[in-house]
Amino acid sequence: MDITTIAPCSHLSRDSRGSLDLCVTKEIEQAVTPPVVQQPQPVTPPAAQQPQPQQQTLTGRFFRCLFTCIFYTQLTLISIFVILLTLRGLVCTKTPNFHPKKWYTPLLSSVAVSGILSVAWNCFFVCNIRATVKATFWFSPLLTLSVGLFLILYDKSNPVVLCIGALIVVYSIVTEMYGGLYVRNKYEFTFKMMSIATGMLPTRTRAIAIVSVIISVFYSGFLVAGIGGATATRTRLDILFISIIVISLAWTMQVLKNVQEVAISKATYVYFRRDEVMNACDALGVTLKKQLGIVCIGSTLVPLIVLYRGMIRGFNLQGRCDDDQEMYESTRGCNWIANHIILCGNRYGFVHVGAYKKGFKQASSDTWRRFRTVAGFEQLIDFDITSSICFSSAMGIGAVSALTARIWELLIDRDHYFELTIYAFIIGYFVGRVSSAWLQACVMGYYVAYSEDPQSDKFDNTIPNRIERQNIEKAKREVEHNRVLEVDEGEPTHVSHV
């Protein structure tokens, strides 16, 4: 006990010395009595320590400006390139069996179908979350399976077509098993989280989603013209030209999706964190003006990191691990890399990019480290299947688009059915991803806001109850594991006598 805590009380009167003695006695008891061990609780930082908008370093500003210039430059160059290819294809057609009307009509129709399906999926989701999600997990693998079977059955002589069709079939079967076995126990929690996160949508969120779908449809249709122009001439360089256009399409769509996520997640985060209502269009304007370069950086890094981490989680799931605990606790190998590379880039970093104007790497590191301060929260983030729902819906939309183009092409002209199927599938997938970005953004903003202030009145007991359930399941697994070890150690060793 510190004597200085008693000295200021020496001037008290005689009547108050009894209470002083009692106070000293309690302090001595507290000093002697060992502290009670409690569960660590997340500490909410005081207002003075709340994250503030940050000034980026010189290197950060350089890369932000660099990627902004790269994005606008590639948009300009691709636009010029597509126009030239289209004109060249119309004027200098060398392939006698290429008919523009028969080639463009199925593909452009499938692009339009992808836009209609994307808007319809959003409408169904708003009306009934549970039914839409279950239908997505059931029908998306069946639709992709149909695409793969069509490719295999129609052209058995082409090894490239057979390989791609076989890969699609295998993916469909694995996805169906994943949805039926592994995801089933995650439905209820994800339904609740999506309902809560989208219960108070930021203003103009639906308008942004619809406009983004329209932009993606028209941009895809514009690039289709360039792909058709390259297909018409059939030179050796045309394969390279088509590859460049497809890569540009993928990156541009990824940027369009992530711009939505930054803007809408910022508005959602501000509501749950500060109880302020923000117009999503205002957040979108700030994102396009000041943070587009950071979004471009994240659009490049996040798919690679998600792919690597998803492969590690898949291998763990295939083995003896039925959760991600081994990845979290591993101190070496691929699991350790997957556990630490997430600090360099993750989609939740987009929330701090919009809210506090941080660089992407710093924002990703801050948000994920904050997740780790809340016991069990990192496992809960990976337990949520919102991203899987968005991915499956996009795959389903891509499959319907591919079937539309394929069936139409088979009815009018069978020369280009394979390439049209692939193009339609890719375009439909990316249009579907753009359409579901608002849902992912709302959930992201909610999770980041919760991790920074779990005791806020804005949050209910959904997350604490899930974390408690995780702890119970973990304890049961440990007990079962120890029991198996005890049984193995207790088995008698049989020694054969010769």
- At residue 440 the predicted structure's pLDDT band, cuts being 50, 70 and 90, is very high
489 pLDDT more than 70: no
Predicted TM-score (pTM) of this structure: 0.84
Residue by residue, what is the 3-state secondary structure of the chain? CCHHHCHHHCCCCHHHHHHHHHHHHHHHHHHHCCCCCCCCCCCCCCHHHCCCCCCCCHHHHHHHHHHHHHHHHHHHHHHHHHHHHHHHHHHCCCCCCCCHHHHHHHHHHHHHHHHHHHHHHHHHHHHCHHHHHHHHHHHHHHHHHHHHHHHHHHCCCCHHHHHHHHHHHHHHHHHHHHHHHHCHHHHHHHHHHHHHHCCCCCECHHHHHHHHHHHHHHHHHHHHHHHHHHHHHCCHHHHHHHHHHHHHHHHHHHHHHHHHHHHHHHHHHHHHHHCCCCEHHHHHHHHHHHCHHHHHHHHHHHHHHHHHHHHHHHHHHHCCCCCCHHHHHCCCHHHHHHHHHCCCCCCCHHHHHHHHCCCHHHHHHHHHHHHHHCCCHHHHHHHCCHHHHHHHHHHHHHHHHHHHHHHHHHHHCCCCHHHHHHHHHHHHHHHHHHHCHHHHHHHHHHHHHHHHCCCCCCCCCHHHHHHHHHHHHHHHHHHHHHHHHHHHHHCCCCCCCC
- At residue 409 the predicted structure's pLDDT band, cuts being 50, 70 and 90, is confident
Q: What phi and psi values does residue 117 have, to the nearest 5 degrees?
A: -65, -35
Number of structural domains the chain divides into: 1
- Give the model's pLDDT for residue 248: 95
Question: Residue 282: inside a domain, yes or no?
Answer: no
Domain span at residue 87? 58-92+102-197+209-262+289-454
495 pLDDT more than 50: no
- Give the model's pLDDT for residue 114: 96
Question: Residue 157: inside a domain, yes or no?
Answer: yes
- Give the model's pLDDT for residue 446: 96
Lowest mean pLDDT among 115-119, 458-462, 480-484: 480-484
pLDDT, mean of residues 266-292:
93
Q: What phi and psi values does residue 203 have, to the nearest 5 degrees?
A: -60, 140
The overall average pLDDT reported for the chain is 83
pLDDT, mean of residues 190-211:
92
pLDDT, mean of residues 449-473:
92
Question: Residue 274: inside a domain, yes or no?
Answer: no
Question: Residue 107: inside a domain, yes or no?
Answer: yes
- Give the model's pLDDT for residue 29: 42
Question: Residue 18: inside a domain, yes or no?
Answer: no
Question: Residue 336: inside a domain, yes or no?
Answer: yes
- Give the model's pLDDT for residue 327: 60
pLDDT, mean of residues 70-90:
93
- At residue 225 the predicted structure's pLDDT band, cuts being 50, 70 and 90, is very high
Within a 10 A sphere around the Cβ of 397, how many other Cβ atoms? 31
Question: Residue 283: inside a domain, yes or no?
Answer: no
Question: Residue 37: inside a domain, yes or no?
Answer: no
157 pLDDT more than 90: no
Which of 154-168, 270-284, 323-337 is the most confident on average?
Answer: 270-284
- At residue 35 the predicted structure's pLDDT band, cuts being 50, 70 and 90, is very low
- Give the model's pLDDT for residue 331: 58
- Give the model's pLDDT for residue 177: 83
